Chains A and B, each alone.
Chain A
Amino acid sequence: MLEIADVHTYYGESHVLHGVSLAVGPGEIVTILGRNGMGKTTLIRSVIGFTPARRGTIRFKGEDITRWPPFRAVEHGMGLVPQGRRVFPSLTVRENLEVAARGNGGRWTLAKVHELFPRLQERAGNRANKLSGGEQQMLAIGRALMTNPDLLLMDEPTEGLAPLLVREVGRVIAELKREGLSILLVEQNLPMALKVADRVHVLSRGQIVYSSTPSELSANHEIQSRYLGV
């Protein structure tokens, strides 16, 4: 589904990712862990094309998308739930969902998103900037689903949410996995990450320093304290 090979990414002259490689298979959830500032968001930005990798390649569903503009990657089946939600503040909730609709006859429609997040239907006519943080997160996820992705990139979807809502996001991720979606998930909430992931990678200073199954990481307290501050 997604193969990231030896990716180096820069902001101007600042070298942030130093040769990251990983893969996400069909129907798989791969989680990236790591402290703040280690390059997790930069990795997501490289995959979607916001900050294209300067060296290395990113292949997605058989195509080399390393230098594709972001909208093309989305058309090709990549969905993005960005860090900080980034819903369109001056659009209504319904418009936020509709602008993302690709009309490609996929599974996700307004009705289906409303079914997953009934709250979004209740607030359909409200401007997105009037929503609570939790509602904005639901909207950001719903918006990405409207593009009918095969692979979902999720960057800290539980950031700043109350425990109840963190569980809700966990439930949604599990449900999306059941539907067969592949997910590349960046998460700081360790219990949640361990619960949903098939495999985990730990990122430190722009490099992957540890890779394992969730249960192996769960047992490895040295890695947890060295790289995750647990």
Chain B
Amino acid sequence: MTAEFWIIQTFNGLSYGALLFLLASGLSLIFGVMRIVNLAHGSYFMLGGYVGLSVVWRTGSFAAAVLVGALAIALIGIAMERLFLRRLSGQVLGQVLMTIGFALIFQDAALLIWGGDPYTIPVPGPLRGVLRAGALSFPTYRAFIVVVAAVVATLLWLALDRTRVGARIRAAVDDAEMAQGVGINVPLLSLAVFALGAFLAAMGGVIGGAFLGVYPGADFEVLPYAFVVVIVGGLGSLPGAMVGSLLVGLLDNFGKALFPELSYFTLFAPMALILALRPTGLFGRA
């Protein structure tokens, strides 16, 4: 194994982790504020990809695909929270079942609308090709994903840490009932966080659709990864989602590259170890 192998694989793991961050950061915040285990979160990723695909077919614009895909799925998220999940607030099992139901409905709907064939969202011109550094070359598009995730992470962090709304969200993550007890409109805040989470996941779906593809089953394929990130990082913690995404991206990538037949083991064994040592995840609190 050469140094080149390690550098390239690290970069690949990093870019996969970046994509996972887009998917998992919202899931983590949603759980933090609402304690909802949203099993339809992977569906937002898949649906975002499909909507993005349709937009690219119509308009040829990648930027429009990202924007429209993310907004359309955010609206679906809003409807799901407002009209259905809110009615079951506090009933954990009922909510989980409902999100599974939604995930299955979304799966069938996608099959009905877009059929069973796999597609790839075309990478826009300027992002094709490779970046060279000496003898090494990196796909430009993967570097783009890392940049997007870094920008999103920075914006999320600034919003959470430096703004009044961010402080309210953190208060609700700490103690949602007490947050209402100081006058914070937690139902509205929850809706906004839910929409943001769906937006980011769908954005990940469009962006990821250009290198993982858009296909039936993508929803349930990415879902476990998102949950591993959230659980390892710590529920409701943004820094946890960042570190968790990178960790899972790297572990998964090296696992697949080094021990292809053991790739689930190389991903889940470290996760089990982390949870054994820190049951609340790396950044979580009890």
Contact = CB atoms under 8 A, between A and B. Distances in A.
B167 A70 contact: no
A96 B181 CA distance: 12
A143 interface: yes
Contacts of B186: 71
A18 B168 CA distance: 36
Given A88-B171, A99-B164, A50 B177 contact: yes
Contacts of B175: 86, 88
A222 B185 CA distance: 46
Contacts of A69: 180, 187
B285 interface: yes
Contacts of A135: none
B179 interface: yes
A91 B170 contact: yes
B233 to A, nearest CB: 15
A74 B181 contact: yes
Contacts of B183: 71, 74-75, 100, 102, 147
B178 interface: yes
Contacts of A82: 178, 181
A95 B165 CA distance: 11
Contact of A100 (B170, B173, B182, B185): B182
A98 B180 contact: no
Contacts of A49: 180
A85 B184 CA distance: 17
A74 B182 contact: yes
Interface in B240-286: 285
Interface string B167-209: 1101101110111111111110000000000000000000000
Nearest to B187: A69
B174 A90 contact: yes
A75 B180 CA distance: 10
A74 B171 contact: no
A81 to B, nearest CB: 9
A82 B183 CA distance: 14
Contacts of A147: 182-183
Interface in A54-98: 69-71, 74-75, 80, 82, 86, 88-91, 95-96, 98
Contact of B285 (A89, A98, A102): A89
Contact of B182 (A50, A89, A143): A143
Interface residues of A, number: 25
A70 B178 CA distance: 9
B177 A70 contact: yes
A91 B178 contact: no
Contacts of A144: 182
B164 to A, nearest CB: 7
A48 interface: yes
A80 B178 CA distance: 9
Interface in B75-127: none
A50 B181 contact: yes
B168 A99 contact: yes
Contact of B181 (A70, A95, A98, A102): A70
Given A88-B171, A91-B171, A99 B184 contact: yes
A80 B181 contact: yes
B275 to A, nearest CB: 21
A91 B160 CA distance: 11
Nearest to A104: B183
B208 to A, nearest CB: 31
Nearest to A143: B182
A208 B173 CA distance: 36
A98 B167 contact: yes
Given A90-B285, A91-B174, A99 B167 contact: yes
Contacts of A71: 180-181, 183-187
A74 B178 CA distance: 11
Interface string A152-191: 0000000000000000000000000000000000000000
Given A71-B186, A99-B167, A99-B168, A48 B181 contact: yes
Contacts of A48: 181
Given A50-B180, A90-B170, 15 more contacts: A48-B181, A50-B177, A71-B181, A74-B181, A74-B183, A75-B183, A80-B182, A86-B181, A88-B171, A88-B174, A88-B178, A91-B174, A99-B184, A144-B182, A147-B182
Interface of A: 48-50, 69-71, 74-75, 80, 82, 86, 88-91, 95-96, 98-100, 102, 143-144, 146-147
Interchain residue pairs A-B with the least CB separation, the first 5: A74-B183, A100-B182, A70-B180, A88-B174, A86-B178
6 contacts: A70-B181, A71-B183, A80-B181, A82-B178, A86-B175, A88-B178
